Amino acid sequence: MSFQPETLLVDNEDRIATVTINRPDKHNALNSQMLDELWAVFEALQEDDAVGGVVVTGTGVKAFAAGADIAELHQLRSKSGKRASSKGQAVMSLIESTGKPVIAAIEGYALGGGCELALACHLRVASRTAKLGLPELGLGLIPGYGGTQRLPRLIGKGRALEMILDGNPVDAERAYSIGLVNKVVEEGETVRTSREWLESIIKKAPLAMRTAIQSVHAAYPNRAQGFQDEARLFGYLCGTDDAREGTAAFLEKRNPGFHNR
Ligand code: COA
């Protein structure tokens, strides 16, 4: 890879690349720079014939990624919020459309944008101590990186609404039982399991694999409008006092007081 990302660690061993989100002091929260770097890394991995599959994970066992960076979310207003959502969505869609299998290896928290990143991967392996959730409503926001679109498709509308409206993360056992993750393994074992899984998957014909991924996604033909609506609605909320208050309350480590405006 010709450039060195600052927020990600990337390696390629035996045809399997590992992309590690590396902001441990912020529970691997996804900031704007990281989205740019994810974009560049996935474009490069897509083109690299030496790579047959990709594992996405976070540094350490405490967090896969605890969401979009709330300090950045706090600065957004309507227009910039819509732009930020569209940018996050574009990165997630690029990952989803990678023509090689991508597995999320989830240790610890996969919340908000972190959960949406896991949803954009083709398969998910979670540790027993993982927690997955979309807590954005507690910030006065909604999921803005495609979560309102991908989650219902994966686990059904009723369960998706439960996760989004309730906001409490689900543990690995529940995540497995509702089809949110594909495998559950011991803490610290998700990357090894994902690599082993990919080793067997990538023995199959690469062209057929790319085509299968493309064909499965063709089952959802009217995706664009849903994503546009999500970005518009996310932008709308970024312009409200409630979003400013919700994000400020998190940063100031206090409970929010919402005023419905
Ligand atoms: N954005 C920015 N910073 C974040 C963050 C995020 N999404 N998640 C965690 N951090 C930061 C905290 O502000 C804290 O920074 P500080 O040490 O400078 O104060 C640091 O990471 C550690 O987080 P902390 O909350 O102290 O850890 P914890 O173990 O008590 O709680 C979580 C862990 C994941 C439950 C909690 O951090 C959390 O709820 N994060 C936000 C989840 C969220 O709402 N995500 C949706 C955003 S789209």
Three-state DSSP class for 194? helix
In this structure, the residue with its CA closest to atom 15 of ligand 1 is 26
Q: Which residue in the list 37, 96, 107, 116 is annotated as catalytic?
A: 116
Residues 6+ apart with CB under 8 A from 228: none
| Top-level class of domain 8-188 | alpha beta
Let me know if 116 is a catalytic residue.
yes
**Residue 129, pLDDT score:** 98
Binding site membership of 26 for ligand 1 (Cβ less than 6 Å): yes
Distance set, CA 52 to CA 104, 132, 166, 204 (Å): 15, 27, 38, 10
Residues 6+ apart with CB under 8 A from 197: 103, 123, 125, 183
**Residue 222, pLDDT score:** 72
**Residue 221, pLDDT score:** 72
**Residue 219, pLDDT score:** 85
Cα atoms in the Cβ-side hemisphere of radius 13 Å centred on 147: 34
- Name the pairing type of β-strands 102-106 and 109-111: unpaired
Q: What is the pLDDT of residues 143-193, one digit of tens each?
A: 999 999 999 999 999 999 999 999 999 999 999 999 999 999 999 999 999
For residues 118 and 95, is the Cβ–Cβ distance under 8 A? no
Whole-prediction pTM: 0.98
Q: What is the pLDDT of residues 25-79, one digit of tens each?
A: 999 999 999 999 999 999 999 999 999 999 999 999 999 999 999 999 999 999 9
